[in-house]
Chain A
Amino acid sequence: MADKKGPETWKEMNPGCMVFRPGSSREYHTGSWRAQKPVWQNEKCIKCGICYIFCPEGCIKEDEEGYFVADLNYCKGCGICAHECWPGAIKMVEED
């Protein structure tokens, strides 16, 4: 939130609070809300991609080898990926 820039006065507000810059929500790093983070144990991963599908934040990506990683700038630590991963390859661990 600290790096979020916004209008200073009401006169600087866009009409209807419209936001015209595409992709500006990327600057909003929701990862700071996280208490736990998902950690993948790739030896258990079957590359099914169910974590990728279920992630409500859309922050899980497939790497070059076909395994999955979360972008921790946006991962809120909800744990849905770990809950859905039926081979049990994802563990939620406390943030340092």
Chain B
Amino acid sequence: MSKRIGMEVAIAAAEAAALCRFDVAAVYPITPQSHVAEHLSDIVADGRIDAEFITVESEHSALSSAIGAAGTGARVVTATSSQGLMYMHEVLPIASAMRLPIVMIIANRAVSGPLNIWNDHTDIMHERDTGWISLFAQNGQEVVDMTIQAFKIGEHRDVMLPVNVNMDGFQLTHMVEPILMPEQEEVDKFLPAYKPYAMVHPDTPVSMGTLAMPEFYAEALKAKDMAMAASRKIIAQVWKDWEKQFGRKYEPIEAHRAEDAEVLMLTMGSMGETAEIAINELRKHGVKAGLLKLKLWRPFPFEELKKLTKNAKVLVVTDRAVSFGGPGGPVCGEVKAALYDEPNRPKIVNYLIGLGGRDLTISDFVDMMKRAAEATKKMPAEAYEYYGVRE
């Protein structure tokens, strides 16, 4: 039986990785991820699991050594945030191209400049196209669950891709809250020992990270993309297994009172919980409001989104990142692409919110929903709005 405990979410994330019996952690500390790095280091130093902690001099080295370790067949975890993730950027597509199922815990944070250490989703949006599976947690429990699920998803033979688990910096990382922490035996049952597809070892010679000439490069990318596509089925299966064993349900998009909703809102990460309260308030006042919480950013759940939005008149997409000179926020761009061919697509309103740690209250979400119907009339002249920005 899982134990109900109070724990800071960043520490819980490291504990979840330890329950997965990682072999190697290669991590460089950065706010607001630091407690993850410190606690992973503690776990190894205290000898709680048989693992190595590689103290690296940068995030670029953290992921590079994670790749090296994963190449030897190790189960590897790393963690970072913001500038650290951007410093890793060069190495991210290499990890996925080498098909190494590394798990990265990301404490989402704004990127400089101006310098800002608070939460938004800009850091991961820059890594959208690097071939990593991207999960978004809305609370501490989901951070723990998704960290464990991430290893099982990534290590599946049909997938063999790295996975990042996104948790809002500060809003989640620095929050002490109740968490059902699975027991070691339960995790062992759910997540068997890692059987690598290949490993660099004198007995099993292999070249990894090879060159591909123009006549092979496109084929290599297509193979990686097809692995990403294949992961949809595996993610669904792993989530089903999880629900069966732990009783907590996971879906690419968690819908809340969406079925008969006329106005829908789409959120990612921890703000979904506050938005949920707002939706309930609106329902009390007779507004047919509903909420979609996007938990799977890559691969993007196109089919699920189409199904969930087909009866809605208006869809309010919230973005915690900016695509300068683009069509709105990156999530909105994706949502629009997904619904373009639908005969009954809702009108879409895009709000850029919670940037660089700007707080979001229940009344903010209520306000956005109330204004949404009105806002659609202006579209697409004003395709998106910086919500709450001082003019």
Asked if A and B touch directly (CB within 8 angstroms), the answer is yes
Is A6 interfacial (CB-CB < 8 Å)? yes
A10 touches B227 (CB 8 A): no
Which 7 pairs between the two chains have the least Cβ-Cβ distance?
A16-B99, A10-B219, A19-B207, A10-B222, A22-B205, A13-B223, A16-B98
Measured between alpha carbons, how far is A19 from B210 in the docked complex, in Å? 8
Is A15 interfacial (CB-CB < 8 Å)? yes
A15 touches B215 (CB 8 A): no
B210 touches A11 (CB 8 A): no
Chain A residue nearest to B216 (CB atoms) is A6
Chain B residue nearest to A12 (CB atoms) is B219
A11 touches B223 (CB 8 A): yes
- Cross-chain contact of A10 among B99, B100, B209, B226 (Cβ < 8 A): B226
Is B206 interfacial (CB-CB < 8 Å)? yes
Q: Which residues of A contact B99 (CB under 8 A)?
A: 15-16, 18
- A residues with a Cβ closer than 8 A to B are 6-7, 9-11, 13, 15-20, 22, 24-25
Query: Closest Cβ of chain B: how far from A50's Cβ, in Å?
Result: 30
A-B CB contact pairs (8 Å), 14 listed: A6-B216, A7-B216, A9-B219, A15-B99, A16-B209, A17-B97, A17-B212, A17-B220, A18-B208, A18-B210, A19-B206, A20-B198, A20-B205, A22-B205
Is B197 interfacial (CB-CB < 8 Å)? yes
Contact A13 to B207, CB < 8 A, known contacts A6-B215, A18-B198, A20-B198: no
Q: Which residues of A contact B212 (CB under 8 A)?
A: 17
Q: Which residues of B contact A16 (CB under 8 A)?
A: 97-100, 160, 198, 208-209
Query: Closest Cβ of chain A: how far from B216's Cβ, in Å?
Result: 6
A13 touches B216 (CB 8 A): yes
- B residues with a Cβ closer than 8 A to A are 97-100, 160, 197-198, 205-210, 212, 215-216, 218-220, 222-223, 226-227
Contact A15 to B210, CB < 8 A, known contacts A7-B219, A10-B222, A10-B226: no
Q: Which residues of A contact B209 (CB under 8 A)?
A: 16
Measured between alpha carbons, how far is A17 from B205 in the docked complex, in Å? 14
Question: A18-B98, A19-B207 given. 17 additional CB < 8 A pairs?
Answer: A6-B216, A7-B216, A7-B219, A10-B218, A13-B220, A15-B197, A16-B198, A17-B97, A17-B210, A17-B216, A17-B220, A18-B198, A20-B198, A20-B205, A20-B206, A20-B207, A25-B207
Contact A10 to B210, CB < 8 A, known contacts A16-B160, A22-B205: no
Q: Which residues of A contact B206 (CB under 8 A)?
A: 18-20
Q: Which residues of B contact A17 (CB under 8 A)?
A: 97, 210, 212, 216, 220
Measured between alpha carbons, how far is A17 from B206 in the docked complex, in Å? 10
Q: Which residues of A contact B227 (CB under 8 A)?
A: 15
Measured between alpha carbons, how far is A15 from B219 in the docked complex, in Å? 11
Measured between alpha carbons, how far is A18 from B199 in the docked complex, in Å? 10
Measured between alpha carbons, how far is A7 from B220 in the docked complex, in Å? 10
Q: Which residues of A contact B208 (CB under 8 A)?
A: 16, 18
Query: Closest Cβ of chain A: how far from B237's Cβ, in Å?
Result: 19
Measured between alpha carbons, how far is A15 from B208 in the docked complex, in Å? 10
A15 touches B160 (CB 8 A): yes
B207 touches A15 (CB 8 A): no
Query: Closest Cβ of chain B: how far from A23's Cβ, in Å?
Result: 9
Query: Closest Cβ of chain A: how far from B47's Cβ, in Å?
Result: 33
Q: Which residues of B contact A13 (CB under 8 A)?
A: 216, 219-220, 223
Q: Which residues of A contact B100 (CB under 8 A)?
A: 16
Q: Which residues of A contact B197 (CB under 8 A)?
A: 15
Measured between alpha carbons, how far is A6 from B100 in the docked complex, in Å? 22
Query: Closest Cβ of chain B: how far from A28's Cβ, in Å?
Result: 10
Query: Closest Cβ of chain B: how far from A59's Cβ, in Å?
Result: 19
Chain B residue nearest to A23 (CB atoms) is B205
Query: Closest Cβ of chain B: how far from A42's Cβ, in Å?
Result: 37
Measured between alpha carbons, how far is A24 from B205 in the docked complex, in Å? 11
Query: Closest Cβ of chain A: how far from B239's Cβ, in Å?
Result: 23
Residue of A6, A13, A25 with most chain B CB atoms under a 10 A cut-off: A13
Q: Which residues of B contact A18 (CB under 8 A)?
A: 98-99, 198, 206-208, 210
Chain A residue nearest to B160 (CB atoms) is A15
Q: Which residues of A contact B210 (CB under 8 A)?
A: 17-19
Measured between alpha carbons, how far is A53 from B208 in the docked complex, in Å? 27
Query: Closest Cβ of chain A: how far from B212's Cβ, in Å?
Result: 6
Query: Closest Cβ of chain A: how far from B229's Cβ, in Å?
Result: 12
